[in-house]
Homo-oligomer: A and B are copies of this chain.
Amino acid sequence: MEALKKKIIDEGIGIGTEIVKVDSFLNHQMDVAFLEQLGQAFAERFAGEKIDKILTVEASGIAIACMAAKSFNYPKVVFAKKMAPNTMTEGFYQSEVKSFTKGTVSIIRVAKNYISKGEKILIIDDFLAHGEAAMGMVDIIEQGGAQVVGLGAVIEKEFQGGGKRLADGGIRVESLAVITSIMDGNIQFK
């Protein structure tokens, strides 16, 4: 998506070889009008698919998932939680998510009520890196007996392998911008 590539070039900051910082419009400050355009782009990519629900993970996936919902004619959006809140009193599905950058393992959870057998669920997230969060969400959807329609990522860092890993697992991946390398502040796109 050209408008996104331009936005990343104009506002994104490459850090080291692994990180692109886009917190002026995507994951700290949010340009909601622009996120609507991204949502529309996801709807075009997945046109013709039946989408009963959108699943994302807190925190920075929430905005783009909600803005995308509009373009998919308002399916419910669920975000997986990284901490079990005191209101999560009933059963939940959970999956382990490893963070390569932080070297930690965390658990994401979705209440069983919000994944129904046979539902067709689209995963939406801001970044696709190693694919750990996405694989965790796939796992949760499958635990609930629902079906993964695919994964829509705003930015895929192709060199971190998550896209290939998901595709190898039979998951359709649609990334609106694909970064092939980050070096000396220079961001290269596919």
Contacts and interface: CB of A to CB of B under 8 A. Distances in A.
A78 B113 contact: no
Interface string A4-44: 00000000000100010101100011111101100000000
A178 interface: no
A88 B15 CA distance: 11
A176 interface: no
**Copy count, this protein chain:** 2
Interface stretch (A65-73, A136-144, A164-172): A65-73
Contacts of A67: 66
Contacts of A88: 23, 28
Contacts of A28: 78-79, 81, 88, 110-111, 114
Contacts of A23: 87-88, 111
Interface of A is mostly: mixed
Interface residues of A, number: 37
Interface in A61-97: 62-63, 66-67, 69-70, 74, 76-79, 81, 86-89
A96 to B, nearest CB: 19
Given A58-B59, A59-B58, A62-B59, A79 B30 contact: yes
A87 to B, nearest CB: 4
A78 B25 CA distance: 9
Closest A-B pairs by Cβ, 9 of them: A58-B59, A32-B69, A59-B59, A33-B74, A21-B87, A62-B62, A30-B77, A29-B114, A29-B78
